[in-house]
Structure formats: C-alpha cells, structure tokens
Amino acid sequence: MMTKAKRKRLIYNLITFGLVIAAYLILQNMIDAKAISRSLKGLLVPICAWIVMAVSLNLVIGFSGELSLGHAGFMSIGAYTGAIVSGWFLSAFDMQDPTLRLILAILISGVVAGIFGALIGIPVLRLRGDYLAIVTLAFGEIIRNLVNVLYVGTTDGKLYFSFLNKNLPEGVTMLVDGAKGAVKIKPISTFTIGFALIILTLIIVLNLVNSRAGRAIQATRDNRIAAESMGVSVTKYKMMAFVTAATLAGMAGALYGLNSSTVVPTQFTFNQSINVLVFVVLGGLGNVLGSVISATFLTVLPEILREFADYRMLVYAVVLILVMIFTNNPLIRSMMNRLFGPVRTLLRGKQKKAPGGDAE
Amino acid sequence: MIFLDHLINGLSLGSIYAIIALGYTMVYGIAKMLNFAHGDVIMVGAYIAFCGLQYWGLPPVVAFLVAMVFCTLLGVTIEGLAYRPLRQATSLAVLITAIGMSYLLQNIALMIWGANPKAFPTTFINDTSLHLGQLNISSATLITIMANVVIMVTLTLFTSRTKLGKAMRCVSEDRGAAELMGINVNRTISLTFAIGSALAAIAGVLLCSSYPILQPTTGSMPGIKAFTAAVFGGIGSIPGAMLGGVLLGVIEIFGKAYISTELGDAIVFAVLIVVLLVKPAGLLGKPMREKV
C-alpha cells in the first residue's frame, strides 16, 4: 500500500516528466511541419541547457540549502571541454558522426566539471552560509580568469595545452585561443539530445531527492546540528549534491557551447550565475517542475518581448527581492494565507489528484 | 624603486579596500548578514559626487558631503525596505535579497547614467604629488591612506567609548539580551547601515579619484574584494578590516606586477580560499563557538 506522501510524490514526478515529454513531442512535430519561427527554433537548445542549469542549481540551493554563486563557472568548464573534445575527436579520430561526438563531448564535459566540483567542494563545503556563497563566487571568477589565458591546439591527433602565453607548436589547429575563447566549433547540438539531457537530469535529480541520500541532504538543510547528531555526515551529503549539480552544469555547458561556433569567457560571468539563480527562485526553491517552467519562460520572454529585454535585469532584481520578502516575512505570509487560503482549500477539495499550488 | 612604487600603489588600493571592508564588517558583525549591495552603494556615491561636480557645479567638498548624505539615506532605506522584513528569515533568503538589491542599484544607475563609462574628474583631489627622492606619491594616494587611518581610529573610539557604539557591540554579541536591556535593536542596525553607507561614499570618491572610470558596475568587483579583505582580517573586527584590506591591496598589486596581470583577481580570490581553509576566523577574528 502506498502512503499518501509517496503517492503525492509519484504524481508530482509523473506530471513533471509528462509535461516535458509532451512539450518535446509538440515542438518536434512543429519542427517537422515547419510551423515554428526561426528565432524560436534557435532558442530550443539554449532552453534545454538553461533548464538543466536551473534544475541542477535547485539541487544545491533548494535541497541542500547552500547558495552557490559559481554555477556559471561549471557551465563554462563544460562548454570549453565540450569544444575541445569535439574538435579533438574530429581531427584525431576522424569521428564524423555528429551525434556520437556530441554525446561523448557531453559525457566527458560532465565528468570534467564533476571533478572540478569535487576539487572545489572539498574546501568550500567546510564553510557555511554566506562564506560558502562568496567562495563559490570567487571560484567562478577564478575559473573565468584561468580560461581567459588558456590556449589549446591540436595537430596529428595530439592535444597541446599552453597557459598564459601562446606557446604551441607550429601548424596546430587552434581549439581554444585565450580571450577569444573556444573558436571554430562545429555546431552539433540538437534539440533531441537536449531533450534527452533534460530527461536524464530529471531522473537523476528526482531520484536523488526522493532517496535516502536525498532525505539526508534535506535534513542537513533544515537543521544541520540535528542531522549531524542523528549520524548524517553533513559534508558527505552536501558534497553529493554539489558534485551532482556541477556534473549536470558541465553537461549543460557542453550542450550550450556546441550549439554555436564560438564560446567566449565573458559568456559565463557572475551575471549568468545570477540569471540561473533567478530561474530557481522564481520557480520555487526545492521545486523541480517550477525550475523547468521558469527557465523556459524566462529564456523565451526576452526574445519575444524586446521591450522586456532592456529591463530584464531590473525586473529580475525586483523579482528576487519581492519573492524573498513575500515568502519569508511572517506578517506578509499570514496575510497571503488569509487571502488565498480559502481558494487553496477549495481547489484541494475539488480535485484530489492535483498536487496543490506547488508549481507556478 | 619600482618595488617601492608598487608598495605605495598597493597601500593606496588597500586603504580603499579597507574603508569598504569596514562597512561590510560592521554590518556583518551586527546584522549578521552579508550586505551584497554595499559595493553598489560605493558606485552610487561616486556617481552623486560626479554629478555634484560636473552638472550641479558644486565645490568639491560640498559635492563630497552631498554624496555622503545621499548614501547614508540610501543605506538606511535599503535596510528598512528590504532587509528589515527578513530579520527572522534564513540567511539564504537574506543573501538572495541582498543580491537582488545589488542588481537593482546597478540597473537603476544604468537607466539614469547609461552604460558608457564616465571619466571621474581628477580635480576632486588636486593633482599634485609629493617627491621623495625618486619616489612620486600622488596626493590622491596620500589622502586615501590618511583617510583610512583617521576613519579606523574614529570608528574604534566610537565603538569602544560612546553609548551608541557600545549598543552596537551589544547587539552584535547577543541581540535578544540587548533588546532586554532596553537597546533599540532596529535603530542600532539602522545606525550601522548609515555609518557603513557613509563610508561607502567616501570609498567611492577615493576609488574613482585613483581609478577614474565610472560605470554602473564600478562598485561590484571592489565590493567583493573588500568582503574578501574583511574575511581575511577577521569579520566583525575593525582593526581586522583595515589590516585585511591593506594586505589584500598589496597582494593584488604585487600579484599583478610580478606574476600576471590577467590573473590579478584570481590571486586575490585564491588568498580568500586559503585564509578560509587555514584560519576561518581571519587574522584578527575570534573563533566563534556554536550554540546548540
């Protein structure tokens, strides 16, 4: 017999997967029927990447309760690794199949970003709260600084790395050219692979969250001391969430990077990390479906509303402040409950299967 | 000689960091929150001083005072509107709000003054320099370093001798007990924000006198680095903020000069990480025990 909580979770997961799959099928049909505008079609892969970014950041912020401000750093590691791997496989092994190259690039980028996540997590996760936030920010900046002086070239199936100065052998094909970024990428990302990556992310995150480890992660968020005294290793579980999120961000980065012909370090500044933070906050901390919806909505909105694009960051700033005050101030919360409480109970009573007003 | 030049540049930059770090460290010590928007208050202060000089034709000293008053009001307003409703909330919520506030200030500045960098008038501090042998020390550098020392001494005296300063220390130590002793906690926190923001205005003018490029993002990087400095020196400690700021400025200038220009920021942040790993309480901070 399923408990009520379990059933609720199952329904929530089914709705999440169902919505994503339905959206994919509809969009794929529209592409086949050529019923989709060029600009929207160009947005599909970035939307997939941002969804993966938002869901993975939500794992860190919403479930383990730590604010990571360097998420774009992992994305840039992924984008650069993806570009290098893809270019190298093409020249060294003459791997012409773009799909295979893309999948390999995404997987390797995930592993590399995960390794960086672990390296960064070991020192960072000993810290707490504001310190952790500022150190992840610092790491994001360090990564951006480092890729700015990174030079990678390939020739005869060998990869050459150089740091600070362009000290590469003659006749190499440049893959990464310092401040110019990763150059001459063959755009190979496809919407289908992006969709597959979203599904993979959802499977990983939703399974992790609903597992024993996931409950431990949330316990460390809700009360660190109580969790620790119950024998939950705080560092281990925070690390688990952090490294998983870094891996997924790296994969999203590879998908995003291989969608265009160049990747420059300035694409992954602190602003990008804040962008993803806004997706997560607006979608709801700890709400995976919310992240998916808000990432989609906020990526499309600036494209269709040019006027909005100018004021995007201003609106985002106001959104961050208002959402936080409205969800955290006891006075406003009780007022909201009094206003919307009756409506909510009415909805709950009528359709028993809907999982409340959790999503947007 | 070049070494001494770098050292003096480092001291000057470090003094600016120290003044910004004082604002961070006081707010962090008393309100227990990282005021992410502090760096952007610096930027606003610099813009107001710029407008005072360039558009309103005020004499430098008056423009400077106007900037200070404006920033003080701004700081108190920010605290009252955005942070006070979240007094009981988790630190995650407060930090996200502070980040939102930082972006709000940057984007409002972007709307008012535009994205094009403005050249900050060098007439603010008369451009004469002191010659000591082969050394050239600009007056901006001298004033920055002196201002830093004066501010630190004043603040130390204020917090240790005056009644308001003692109230601030009480709130920092135990907010509940302070309230029971009849200290108005909200007013004390407002006062802290007022002092921190006034310091931010001073830092803004000094920063732009030495590095005269003014744009909406001017304050964010120095702000983050100054927070690093505050952590380096031990957060909550006034002499610590000064020591951390000066050391960080010297490290940054030396790193840029002798290691790599591109990696200057990376070096500063690497210092932060090493400090937090080796001595999380900072150089002059007291290790905090956790109460269960």
Chain A CA closest to residue B263: A145
CB within 8 A of B292, min separation 6: which ones? A225
Q: A308 falls in which pLDDT band (50, 70, 90)?
A: confident
Residue B268 is part of which domain span? Answer: 2-115+136-278
Q: How many CB atoms lie within 10 A of CB A89?
A: 20
Chain B CA closest to residue A126: B277
**Is residue B255 assigned to a domain?**
yes
Q: How many CB atoms lie within 10 A of CB A202?
A: 20
CB contacts, 8 Å: B33 with chain A? 130
Chains A, B: CB contacts within 8 A come to: 130
**Is residue B292 assigned to a domain?**
no
pLDDT score of A356 more than 50: no
Q: How many CB atoms lie within 10 A of CB A27?
A: 18
State the nearest Cα–Cα gap between A222 and chain B, in angstroms.
10
**Is residue B120 assigned to a domain?**
no
Ranking A146-150, A166-170, A234-238, B114-118 by mean pLDDT, the lowest is A166-170
Ranking A25-34, B15-24, B61-70 by mean pLDDT, the lowest is A25-34
pLDDT score of B124 more than 80: no
pLDDT score of A341 more than 80: no
Contact A129 B91 (CB under 8 A): yes
| Rounded distance between C-alpha atoms, residue A199 and residue B48, angstroms | 51
CB contacts, 8 Å: B77 with chain A? none
Supply the ipTM of this predicted assembly: 0.84
Contact A321 B100 (CB under 8 A): yes
- For chain B, give the mean pLDDT: 86
Q: A353 falls in which pLDDT band (50, 70, 90)?
A: very low
pLDDT tens digits, one per residue of B31-40 = 888 888 999 9
Q: What is the pTM of this model?
A: 0.85
Of B56, B59, B47, B79, the C-alpha closest to B191 is: B79
Kindly tell me the burial class for residue A245, based on how many C-beta atoms sit within 10 Å of its own C-beta (0-12, 13-18, 19 or more). buried
State the nearest Cα–Cα gap between A250 and chain B, in angstroms.
21
Question: Please, which residues bridge with residue A158 across strands?
Answer: A155
Contact indicator for B123, B50 with CB cutoff of 8 Å: no
| Rounded distance between C-alpha atoms, residue A333 and residue A14, angstroms | 30
Q: B291 falls in which pLDDT band (50, 70, 90)?
A: low
pLDDT score of B200 more than 50: yes
Give the domain CATH number at B103: 1.10.3470
Contact B96 A277 (CB under 8 A): yes
The pLDDT value recorded for residue A304 is: 77
Contact B276 A127 (CB under 8 A): yes
The pLDDT value recorded for residue B138 is: 78
CB contacts, 8 Å: A328 with chain B? 85-86, 88-90, 93
State the nearest Cα–Cα gap between B91 and chain A, in angstroms.
7
Total tally of structural domains belonging to chain B? 1
State the nearest Cα–Cα gap between B162 and chain A, in angstroms.
30
CA B22 to chain centre: 6
The pLDDT value recorded for residue B108 is: 92
**Is residue B232 assigned to a domain?**
yes
